[in-house]
């Protein structure tokens, strides 16, 4: 067994179970702090002996552009007007099984809600920029050795706050400004208010007031809204309210398509008009008398202390029924797990919101 890393002490519970506590942050882990690093090292060495597929894309919503993060798997685009190749069929079957859906178009697989009860494992890579406008890449683990690139988001600052453009192509995400025509791979954006307390995820439709044309002419849907009572940057972060559209009996998202200001999710939340919506909240840590501290079990999906480590569960359900989990594992890598009612797009968007609200924190 490797030596305990600096700052971590090995402890023993009254039941004889070993755990590790960080002497500064007091974070508790029930596995060795270096387990994740050695697991990743093993996987990287294993990948070196395997062939890698180039990621290609198509304009109909397939995952596009070769990711700049190594070791991820892609798909080959079928010939124009031709049949879908066997590699595409295999990937679709894998995604359908992971997400619990029957969609066949890759874009819909990533943007429609999952119906699975077992969390889908993903991760986000953060690319910091000294000039502002950070970039984030979202990957889905489709097997023990393969990760699939899904989205890229780029941050833009505007007079009334900021927004993140999200696309299926890394280059298109950089070009997806509200004042320009949207590329076909554009799937939506996250918009914040000036105080970075309220955030909304929109799809690629147009706003009801005509100010935001989006990527298509039909009215846009609001896919997620988050209201923070207290910033995550605070040492004692307060509660947050998260609402997403419910999933209907056929596995589709109940559309939240406002036709005026009163129909927007933030206004409906103020009125308590939550019909067709599901409300979630952050999971609260429990007091552990053995370690004399509050703690929250991330089951190894968070190995570094961070205010970005968070779990969401239905407000009126069991706390253990976690629908979303985000955990820091490296300086710029964060695990993201999700299940119903979230889609991959909603999970990525909420991770972006956590990044933005806690900007400047570790």
- pLDDT tens figures, 282-335: 888 777 788 776 678 898 999 998 889 999 999 988 888 999 999 999 999 999
* pLDDT value at 163 more than 80: yes
Residue with tokens 């910091």: 128
Question: What pLDDT sits at residue 63?
Answer: 37
Could you tell me the pLDDT band of residue 239, with boundaries at 50, 70 and 90?
confident
Q: Which two tokens stand for residue 255?
A: 């559309």
- pLDDT tens figures, 77-116: 333 333 333 477 888 899 999 999 989 898 999 999 999 9
Question: What pLDDT sits at residue 42?
Answer: 67
Identify whether the C-beta of residue 64 lies closer than 8 Å to the C-beta of residue 169: yes
Average pLDDT score, the chain: 79
Mean pLDDT for 330-359 is: 94
Question: What pLDDT sits at residue 230?
Answer: 73
Question: What pLDDT sits at residue 111?
Answer: 94
User: For residues 131 and 112, which has the higher predicted lDDT (pLDDT)?
Assistant: 112
* pLDDT value at 356 more than 50: yes
Identify whether the C-beta of residue 97 lies closer than 8 Å to the C-beta of residue 115: no
Mean pLDDT for 22-32 is: 70
Cα 108 to chain centroid, rounded: 16
Question: What pLDDT sits at residue 26?
Answer: 67
User: For residues 113 and 211, which has the higher predicted lDDT (pLDDT)?
Assistant: 113
Could you tell me the pLDDT band of residue 15, with boundaries at 50, 70 and 90?
low
Could you tell me the pLDDT band of residue 65, with boundaries at 50, 70 and 90?
very low
* pLDDT value at 18 more than 50: yes
Question: What pLDDT sits at residue 208?
Answer: 86
Mean pLDDT for 329-343 is: 95
243/200 Cα distance (integer angstroms): 10
Question: What pLDDT sits at residue 352?
Answer: 96
Whole-number percent of the chain with pLDDT over 70: 72
The answer to pTM > 0.85 is: no
Could you tell me the pLDDT band of residue 23, with boundaries at 50, 70 and 90?
confident
Q: Considering only 22-26, 203-207, 349-353, which range has the smallest mean pLDDT?
A: 22-26
């Amino acid at each position: 067994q490797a030596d305990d890393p600096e700052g971590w002490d090995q402890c023993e519970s009254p039941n004889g179970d070993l755990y590790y506590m960080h002497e500064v942050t007091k974070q508790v882990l029930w596995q060795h702090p270096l387990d994740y690093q050695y697991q990743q090292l093993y996987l990287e060495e294993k990948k070196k002996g395997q062939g890698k597929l180039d990621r290609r894309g198509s304009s109909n919503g397939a995952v596009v552009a070769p990711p700049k993060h190594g070791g991820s798997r892609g798909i080959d685009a079928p010939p124009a007007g031709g049949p879908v190749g066997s590699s595409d069929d295999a990937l679709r079957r894998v995604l359908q099984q992971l997400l619990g859906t029957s969609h066949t178009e890759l874009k819909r697989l990533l943007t429609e809600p999952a119906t699975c009860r077992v969390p889908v494992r993903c991760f986000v890579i953060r690319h910091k920029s000294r000039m502002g406008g950070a970039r984030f890449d979202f990957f889905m683990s489709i097997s023990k050795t393969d990760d699939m690139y899904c989205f890229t988001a780029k941050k833009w600052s505007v007079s009334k706050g900021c927004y993140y453009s999200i696309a299926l192509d890394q280059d298109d995400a950089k070009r997806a400004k509200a004042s320009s025509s949207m590329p076909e791979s554009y799937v939506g954006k996250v918009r914040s208010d000036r105080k970075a307390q309220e955030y909304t995820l929109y799809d690629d439709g147009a706003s009801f007031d005509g100010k935001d044309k989006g990527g298509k002419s039909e009215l846009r849907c609001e896919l997620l809204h988050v209201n923070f009572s207290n910033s995550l940057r605070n040492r004692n972060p307060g509660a947050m309210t998260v609402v997403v559209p419910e999933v209907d009996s056929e596995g589709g998202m109940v559309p939240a398509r406002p036709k005026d200001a009163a129909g927007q999710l933030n206004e409906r939340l103020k009125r308590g008009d939550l019909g067709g919506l599901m409300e979630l909240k952050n999971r609260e840590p429990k007091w552990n008398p053995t370690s004399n501290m509050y703690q929250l079990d991330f089951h190894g999906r968070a190995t570094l202390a961070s205010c970005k480590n968070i779990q969401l569960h239905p407000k009126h359900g069991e706390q253990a029924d976690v629908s979303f989990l985000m955990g820091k594992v490296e300086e710029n890598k964060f695990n993201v797990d999700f299940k119903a009612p979230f889609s991959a797009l909603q999970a990525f968007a909420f991770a972006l919101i956590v990044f933005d609200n806690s900007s400047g924190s570790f």
